[in-house]
Amino acid sequence: EATVDLAERRQIRSAIRELQRQELEWDEEALASKRFRPERGSHRQDDKENWPRSRRLEEEQQMALAALSRQLETITDVEELTKLLRAAGEYEERKLIRAAIRKLRAEEIE
């Protein structure tokens, strides 16, 4: 507001936008570092009862994904895989199915 030179005003505005962008990046980095910070020992002790259950659920999910992966290797029809993809509920399942579709399409191209 203190200057009447339009070019100088544009420079000032772009510098302000750059500072705001950097500030947003720093805030996002700070949030990410807080979000993925390792848990403290005292909190883990408070949550001991849930560990076996969550570990078991994680193992079951890994076994289900391995079984799905074996099943996907036997399927050679993209339409059938697409149907599976639409029916899949979990992100990891959809990820495996999309990879199988990409693999089949690459084989068809070759």
What region does 90 belong to: left with phi over 0, alpha with psi -120 to 50, or beta?
beta
Judged against a pLDDT cut of 60, whether residue 68 lies above it is answered with yes
Burial class of residue 66 in the structure, from the number of CB atoms within 10 Å of its CB (0-12 exposed, 13-18 middle, 19+ buried)? exposed
Tens digit of each residue's pLDDT (9 = 90 or more) over 8-65: 888 988 999 999 999 988 888 877 776 665 555 545 555 556 667 777 888 888 888 8
Residue boundaries of the structural domains of the chain? 1-36, 58-109
CB 81 within 8 A of CB 72: yes
72-96 per-position pLDDT tens digit: 888 888 888 888 888 888 888 888 8
Token duo for residue 62: 């890994």
